[in-house]
Structure 1
């Protein structure tokens, strides 16, 4: 099969599987309902899969949720990265890593 110039076959790219996307999109839906997020983008590259979330589509991403399988044995393949490039949380379990973002849903009542 001939691929257009600049494209690689899908098996050369890192991607989120259905279960991972389910976890991410569940959080995304709750954040949209809370008015925190409005848009997202996904990138599937050779070394990393990225789910970026935005407050507005024209801005830089507020957060990036990354999957880097090569870091599985070291620091953990999942990471949440802030707008400033800082790693907010890294680990092996996607649900636990995403908890750093769920804290934004907790609001004080009073």
Structure 2
């Protein structure tokens, strides 16, 4: 008989990968779709790392992302696990819930309608 090698277990209490749940990803992709329809964004990328999950939205694929939406669960009890980061790397908004963090981007879609 051969030897059985155990499957490597994740560190105690720490997940091996951080990700978005279905409701969070639906909210983010809904915003992305509306921004594509408005002509602002053309591409996106998702990075699921050990410490953070990042959704990056691009005006063009060859540029830096215009916005990054980061989820860092380690900051849940401090500043809030959600952050909106601009093209230059500055944190534009941080919070405990996704909706208010996405608000500055959603405001770009609003248009004034005259009577």
What's the TM-score, normalizing by structure 1? 0.87
Taking only aligned residues, the RMSD between alpha carbons, in angstroms, comes to: 1.8
Residue in structure 2 matched with residue 47 of structure 1 by the alignment = 51
Residue in structure 2 matched with residue 101 of structure 1 by the alignment = 105
Question: How much does 1:107 deviate?
Answer: 2.9
CA distance in 1, matches of 2:78, 2:86: 21
CA distance in 1, matches of 2:59, 2:111: 18
Cα-to-partner distance string for 1:27-74 (whole Å, 9 max, x where unaligned): 001100100011000000111000000001111100100000000000
Matched residue pairs, number?
Answer: 104
Q: What are the equivalent positions in structure 2 for 1:18-97 lying under 5 Å apart?
A: 18-97=22-101
Structure 2 spans left out of the alignment, 5+ residues? 1-5
CA distance in 2, matches of 1:50, 1:63: 10
Structure 1 spans left out of the alignment, 5+ residues? none
Ranges of 4+ aligned residues in structure 1 off by more than 4 Å:
none
CA distance in 2, matches of 1:26, 1:36: 14
Structure whose CA Rg is larger: 2
Question: How much does 1:108 deviate?
Answer: 3.6
CA distance in 1, matches of 2:113, 2:37: 18
